[in-house]
Amino acid sequence: MAGNMNGTAKAHASEPDTGQANPAACSLRDAWALRNATAQALILAEGHMQRLVEESDLAGLVGLIEAFAPSQSTGPEWTRTFEPLAERLWAWCGADTMAALHAEFSARGMPWLAVANAFAPERGEAVRQRVRQPAWARTPAFAIA
């Protein structure tokens, strides 16, 4: 992998990293270029996801959340992936949508209690305070999961 002048990564099989004993390993500069490219991809993906969430109706959001059925996705993996989604929904959806999501999953009973709690109004206020970004910030306020 070789880096160009602006710090982004480009891959060329014909250009091995001659500064390393192992040609398959990348240099520090190449690793930094890869990190920068990955960060840019994350920013673009966050923007795309935000637009899709904002354009979605309640049924679409419920369908997305159902993919996190606690009975199908238990343990740390569920928390690692669901919590960031809940944070983003609180940041990107209005109060009426979040209240509807809370009501929908509260009505489903105990198996969905963790999901319903993630959409409780007091949880939303805490999340919104924690992820508030300054106006000049370029990167998402969210943790990478």
What string of pLDDT tens digits covers the 145 residues of the chain? 444 444 544 554 445 555 555 656 789 999 999 999 998 998 899 899 999 999 999 999 999 998 877 666 666 666 678 888 998 999 899 999 999 999 999 999 998 998 999 999 999 888 877 766 655 665 556 554 4
| Confidence at residue 62, expressed as pLDDT on a 0 to 100 scale | 96
How far out from the chain centre does Cα 138 lie? 15
| Confidence at residue 15, expressed as pLDDT on a 0 to 100 scale | 52
| Confidence at residue 19, expressed as pLDDT on a 0 to 100 scale | 53
Residue type, 86: A
| Confidence at residue 75, expressed as pLDDT on a 0 to 100 scale | 63
Residue type, 20: Q
What residues contact 65, with CB distance under 8 A and at least 6 apart? 85, 101, 105, 115
Q: CA 98 to CA 104: how far, in whole Å?
A: 10
| Confidence at residue 64, expressed as pLDDT on a 0 to 100 scale | 92
Tokens standing for residue 118: 């993630």
Q: Tell me, what DSSP letter sits at residue 109? A: -
Radius of gyration of the chain (CA): 20
| Confidence at residue 145, expressed as pLDDT on a 0 to 100 scale | 45
Tokens standing for residue 30: 């190449």
